[in-house]
Amino acid sequence: MDISIYELLLIVFIINLPFGYMRSRSTKFSRRWIMAIHIPVPFVFILRVFSGMTLSVIPLLVLSDIAGQIVGGKLIKQDIG
């Protein structure tokens, strides 16, 4: 798969948005909260492997993961329902 690092970071960020939203609506340290944090990890791993990126991009992927979780959590403030 021919993908740039920027595209990979954007995909990881977008994958984590709904999980950040789910995490922010859960009780801290509950099963749902932990799942919201850890479910995206295998997807990010698979994306990194199939994109051919080296291990050196992992810190950037972690930052993109955290950013997606934070922004997804902030979406709750925009929730009108």
pLDDT tens profile 13-57: 999 999 999 999 999 999 999 999 999 999 999 999 999 999 999
Phi-psi region of 52 (alpha: psi -120 to 50; beta: other; left: phi over 0): left
pLDDT the model gives residue 78: 65
pLDDT the model gives residue 16: 97
pLDDT the model gives residue 1: 74
Does residue 79 carry a pLDDT above 80? no
Q: Residue 41 is encoded by which pair of tokens?
A: 């990890």
What's the rounded Cα separation, in Å, for the pair 9 and 29? 27
Can you give the pTM of this predicted structure? 0.89
pLDDT the model gives residue 80: 55
